[in-house]
Amino acid sequence: MRLLAWLLVLLNVGLLAYFNMGLIAPKPATADRSIQPEKLKVLTEKDLEMMPKKVAPPVVEAAPSKEAVAMQVTVQGSTSCYKWGNFTKTNLPAAQVVLVRLGLDSVVNQEASAQEDKRFWVYYPPLKTAVLAQQKAAEIKAMGVDELFIVQDSQWRNAISFGLFQDEQLATNLLNELQAKGVKGVTKALHNPGKSLTSLLIKTVSADKALELHKIKPEFVGTELAPAACP
């Protein structure tokens, strides 16, 4: 009887071990058939060159400022001649010296003055030296005035110009604004009220020379620079 009991125990242990064989001794992992070594290929340099390339997104350049566009149109669309005026008897020679320095030929034109050509100028009177003019300009800028430049022509050399207007009221408004900011000694005057106007017709002006002329023009108060028909 005891022997039969032991046989039943051994039989149960054997059956338990048989049905749990997968847990006790797991089956060896099978190879992944999705990877086929016989079909692998080492790419050559030529194969790499033939592969499709990734296209980089286009670079979007920043839009140019309105001032830059305006200057570019003025220069690119200009003729090869320019009219520069109106000059006084004193600042005309200085302008001619500038043109000679730039290697440009010019012809002097004398025209009758009209009432509409009168301009009202807001300025600080000329100082004795360029150093004093620069110091005064820096002092005025510190008061919050940015629109100014030091005049370089012979008659008004070292004066500080704030603006030139056809409308006298606009000149008066600017004068009052400057005085309100604490700028003392600034004045308003009628500029170039003479009976005749002198201008220069400049020939064969390249785009580079035109840019230089536009940069120099503010030094000659009351003058205008514009494209003109060549003779």
The pLDDT, as a whole number, for residue 70 is 45
Residue 188 has pLDDT above 90, yes or no: no
Instruction: List, for residues 70-91, the tens digit of each pLDDT value.
Output: 444 444 444 589 999 887 777 7
Q: What phi and psi, each to the nearest 5 degrees, are found at residue 34?
A: -70, -20
pLDDT of residue 199: 87
Q: Choose among 161, 83, 90, 82: nearest CA to 119.
A: 161
pLDDT tens digits along 190-222? 776 555 568 889 988 988 999 999 988 888 877
DSSP E strands in the chain: the ranges are 81-87, 105-112, 119-124, 149-150, 160-165, 187-191, 196-203, 224-228
pLDDT value at residue 78: 46
All domains in the chain, ordered by first residue: 71-115+194-231 (3.30.70.120), 119-191 (3.30.70)
Identify whether the C-beta of residue 164 lies closer than 8 Å to the C-beta of residue 101.
no
Query: What region does 163 belong to: left with phi over 0, alpha with psi -120 to 50, or beta?
Result: left
Can you give the pLDDT at residue 93?
82
Q: Whole-model pTM?
A: 0.44
State pLDDT tens for residues 92-149.
888 888 888 888 888 888 765 554 567 888 999 899 899 999 999 999 999 999 899 8
The pLDDT score that the predictor gives to residue 134 is 94
Q: Give the pLDDT score at 74.
A: 46
pLDDT per position as a tens digit, 1-36: 566 666 665 666 665 666 555 555 555 555 555 555
Q: Cis bond leading into 86, ω under 30°? A: yes
Q: pLDDT tens-digit profile of 45-75?
A: 666 666 666 555 555 455 455 444 444 444 4
Residue found under tokens 């008897």: 89
